[in-house]
Structure 1
Amino acid sequence: MKKPIGILLFILSLLGCENDTKLTFGTFELSNRLCEACPKIEIKLPEALDDATISETVNTTLREEVIALLTFEEETEVGSVEAAVESFTTGFTDLKKKFQDEVPWEAKINGDVVYEDDTMLTLVVNAYIFTGGAHGYNSTSFLNFDKIKATELENWELFEDEEGFTHYAESKFRIQEKIPQDENINITGFMFDGDAFHLAENVGYTPDGIQLVYNQYEVASYADGPIVLTIPFSEANKYLKRGIQL
């Protein structure tokens, strides 16, 4: 009797593996340690390992994000993370030749998987870039993917009713930031263009709901830091193309 039970358990374990739709991730790491005077660069990102189109899409999108953050020579076409690191380094060393007192530049970029289900995947990329001046710049970027179509999603593609979600998000934003509902959105010091509320450039799925991250300077001063608004799926679902079953 032991053999049939063992076979049954083996089959069930295989079925469980087949039903597991989550991607397998490793880690991509890269740092620049060429010389003591070189800029400090640290990159640590998830890397999709599955032999699937969505994995290629995810890894390509992550590389493009890093390239955009690090490329300093606008006239030079950069096609890899390694080349972007070289571009960032060259930008600093060229400036160092002109200004000996230039403080070494710095770039720290790390990413993580913040949400995944059968059809949706969201990654977050956090970056700190310093290229001289009084302070560096912190940024958060959400990357949303349709796993079935193996495509990256633009913000507008997340919503069935973007206008309705924008109105609802504004109401929640005003409550969170203590802005009267009937007053100008900028009355307390925010800097929304045209005195009109708009969704953040970075919107993503998280375990707590749909999150909007307004990076520094987007709608407030540097000193205010990033402004984060999270709307639970129980409230956001009716506006989304891909609602989350609660």
Structure 2
Amino acid sequence: MKYYILLAFFALTFISCNQNNPKQAKQEDAKQIVKDALVYELINFYKTTPSCKTDSCEAYVKAVYPVFKVEALNKFITNIITTLPYNGQPTRNLNLAADSFINDYLRFKKEFPDSPAGYAWDQNFRIAYQDKDFINFAYQSYIYTGGAHGLETIQYFNISKKDYQIIQLKDIFDKDEKAQLNTIAEQIFRKQEGLKANDNLDSYFFDDQKFSLNENFIITNKGLEFLYNPYEIKAYAYGRTMLFIPYQDIKEIIKKDSILSKFKP
């Protein structure tokens, strides 16, 4: 009898110690993330005009991106980083894309030899987060082809590790729940922007002056973070607009058995 009492005592002590040791819990979480992480190699690409070897003159193309052992991911990344910024055509080869971009500058320079403007195409495709179910990317791109300023944008991608397809809002919210998500998001947006419930949105670039979420979001363990790039809903001078929606606010509308289910509070 004493043996069982002592066994129960030690079991409860062990559980209590683990529950009251957040540092140990974080270490275990970190170990799990490492265990679930996909192996990759980080590639640094740089190409410029023959007469220029620095970023500050003429034209250049830079890209930092991961290469995995998963071909589907590599194909997805390659398709994005090799799509030409001035015509939207994918080349599927970064060297060819860089040559095309630089040659476009050389044609421009030939036509306007006195122009001081250069060209820049700078890309950073980084891993934001991954666990056993999905991997998230943040793709940052800067384009300059003359004019007053360049344009820097960030695009988020959430990729399922089950089929390596992009996770869209329709995958985690049903149609009716997606409408509720938009309503909740608008309330957060208005509070963030200092707007009242009945204030119009005519100073923003929303279609028909009606608030709407885009598909540029990233899944975190606390909530969904949406991002609007310059010119998307505001003028360039205002920069990017971030909108964070905590799971606590949308726990009732997350699709059952979706990839977000494990994050529900």
Match of 2:225 in 1: 211
The Cα shift of 1:201 comes to 4.0
Gaps of 5+ in 2: 1-30
Query: Take 2:128 and 2:253, find their aligned partners in 1: how far apart are those partners?
Result: 21
Which residues of 2 match residues 108-123 of structure 1 at below 5 A? 108-123=122-137
Q: Distance in 1 between matches of 2:71 and 2:251?
A: 29
Letter in 1 for 2:101: F
2:224–2:247 CA contact under 8 A, matched in 1: yes
Instruction: Mark the runs of 5 or more structure 1 residues left unpaired by the alignment.
Output: 1-15, 50-54
Give the length in aligned residue pairs. Answer: 221
Q: Quote the residue 2:182 is aligned against.
A: 166
Is 1:39 the counterpart of 2:59 in the alignment?
A: yes
**Alpha-carbon contact 1:211-1:230 (below 8 Å) kept:** yes
1:148 Cα deviation after fit: 0.9
**4+ long deviations beyond 4 Å:** none
**What amino acid maps onto 1:63 in structure 2?**
T
- Residue 92 of structure 2: aligned partner: 79
Query: Superposition pairs for residues 96-175 of structure 1, below 5 Å?
Result: 96-100=109-113, 101-160=115-174, 161-175=177-191
Q: Percent identity?
A: 23
Task: Give the 3 Å change call, closer, same or farther, for CA 237–62 of structure 1 in structure 2.
Answer: farther
Give TM-score scaled by structure 1 length.
0.81
Contact 2:140/2:152 (8 A) holds in 1: yes
RMSD of aligned Cα (Å) = 2.3
**Residue in structure 2 matched with residue 242 of structure 1 by the alignment:** 259
Can you list the C-alpha shifts for 1:13-51, whole angstroms capped at 9, x where unaligned?
xxx89x9322112202211133315412211112223xx
One-letter amino acid of the structure 2 residue matched with residue 89 of structure 1: I
Distance 2:235 2:85 in 1: 25
Q: 1:190 to 1:65 in 2, by over 3 A?
A: same
State the one-letter code of the partner of 1:175.
K
Write the letter of the residue equivalent to 1:184: N
- Match among 96, 99, 107 for residue 94 of structure 1: 107
Question: Tell me, what secondary structure is at the counterpart of 1:151?
Answer: coil
In the alignment, structure 1 residue 66 sits paired with structure 2 residue 86: no
Provide closer, same or farther for how the CA distance between residues 157 and 84 of structure 1 changes in structure 2, counting only shifts above 3 A.
farther
Post-superposition offset of 1:110: 0.6
Contact 2:119 2:145 in 1 (8 A): yes
Q: TM-score, normalised by structure 2?
A: 0.75
Cα 1:242–1:185, aligned 2, differ >3 Å: closer, same or farther? farther
Higher relative contact order (CA 8 A, sep 6+): 1
What is the alpha-carbon distance in structure 1 between the residues aligned to residue 105 and residue 216 of structure 2?
Answer: 29
